[in-house]
Amino acid sequence: MKGGLRSWFAQVKRVDYPRTLLALCVGVAGALLFLWIGAPMPWMLGPLAGCLIASLLGAPLAAPTVFRSPMAAMIGVMLGSGYGPQLLGYVVNWWATIAGLLAFMLVAGAVCVAYFRCVARYDFPTAYFAGMPGGVVEMVLLGENSGADLRRVALVHAARIVFTVFSIPFIVQWVEGGQIVRSATSSISLLDMRADSLLWLLVTFSGGLVLGRLVNLPARYLLGPLILSVIVHISGISTFKPPWELVALAQLVLGSVIGCRFAGSRTVDILQIFLASLGSCFLMILLSCAFAFGVSHLTEYTLTELLLAYSPGGLAEMGVLALALHLDVAVVSTRHVLRIFLVVICARSLMPLFGIKRE
């Protein structure tokens, strides 16, 4: 834990505060604009759009990554609050959704690798890691020493998350017939939280950070607090829910970080990556809609819940969307955790089959 704190405080000292503050100001302005025009998910999509446009225009922004680790921990606590004692009663009914997830991963991976190889004309190692429905960090780490263009792989996955986070709320709005929750927040206020609920929120936050470091979990800032929060809620020790202020703040930071990922890159390079990614993201979202539609007819889960569960976004991003839209967070976040592990295992196992060097 001390090592983690030292690392974080060292990062704090290196922060370019003027550029980071500018990014957050742009994010807040984007959120207020999206609130004013009545767009869905304004606290995430507004900052994302604002920071992305500002980055493309060459504004001197710096991603507020210093806030990402504590915010990821808070998001983990929030996602864990979506679980409850009733989870153990219906977890046996998850087999169909998990089977659908595995099938979606295999089909989406094959289709998108072929797309990047044949349409975008990437070399095979780059196409392989760019086309896998995994996370940015996982695919870049797997692609080391493989001959893949890791910068392009990272930008492709970042662009995929941008397109997914921006398009899914509008798809949900269309599926729900316009009945989307525009405020995208919890009804509970921080000022109205009971003392014991606030205490458990802080315990799961800090204890989860310790757990993630001790167990050396992947994405430990997110998964450690998530696991501890799940344990607290499943056991019935507490039923606290995150206040709307923290849900909005999490979306603001996430949206700003995603929008700033392209800061410092040449506009021409960004547009080329975006054009290449647009086709693959369209294919992935189309496949996720098809699988979600099919599985929703085999289970009691709604099309909207499964759409978020199968969407090619990140765990944190899709989990926050589910939380803000008052959907079953357990269904969404559990599938994304499984997707991360399954993609890493499958992608690594198949590398020798395609002649890709593996450490």
Exposed / middle / buried, residue 103 (Cβ in 10 Å: 0-12, 13-18, 19+): middle
The pLDDT assigned to 312 comes to 86
Report the largest interatomic distance among the alpha carbons of the chain, rounded to a whole angstrom. Answer: 58
The pLDDT assigned to 92 comes to 62
The pLDDT assigned to 298 comes to 87
pLDDT tens per residue across span 289-323: 999 999 999 888 889 889 999 998 877 778 878 87
CA 155/CA 167 separation, integer angstroms: 18
In the chain, the number of structural domains is 1
The single residue listed with the structure tokens 């492709």 is 156
CA 286/CA 312 separation, integer angstroms: 10
Instruction: Quote the domain boundaries for residue 230.
Output: 71-239+266-354
Question: Is the confidence at residue 178, as pLDDT, over 60?
Answer: no
33, part of any domain: no
The pLDDT assigned to 307 comes to 92
The pLDDT assigned to 23 comes to 92
> Taking a C-beta distance cutoff of 8 angstroms, is the pair 76, 225 a contact?
yes
13, part of any domain: no
259, part of any domain: no
Question: Is the confidence at residue 349, as pLDDT, over 90?
Answer: no
Amino acid at position 130, single letter: A
CA 33/CA 24 separation, integer angstroms: 14
Amino acid at position 94, single letter: W
43, part of any domain: no
Q: How far is CA 341 from the centre of its chain?
A: 14
Mean pLDDT is lowest, of 188-192, 198-202, 281-285, 303-307, for 188-192
298, part of any domain: yes
58, part of any domain: no
Confidence grade of residue 203 (pLDDT, cut at 50, 70, 90): very high
Most confident option among 56-60, 173-177, 354-358: 56-60
Amino acid at position 298, single letter: L
246, part of any domain: no
pTM, full prediction: 0.76
pLDDT tens per residue across span 266-291: 778 888 888 888 999 999 999 999 99
Residue 158's nearest CA partner among 267, 287, 261 is 261
The pLDDT assigned to 182 comes to 47
CA 33/CA 248 separation, integer angstroms: 15
Q: Provide the 8-state DSSP code for 55.
A: H
- SS3 category, 62: coil
59, part of any domain: no
Residue 267: how many CA atoms within 13 Å on its side-chain side?
8
CA 34/CA 323 separation, integer angstroms: 19
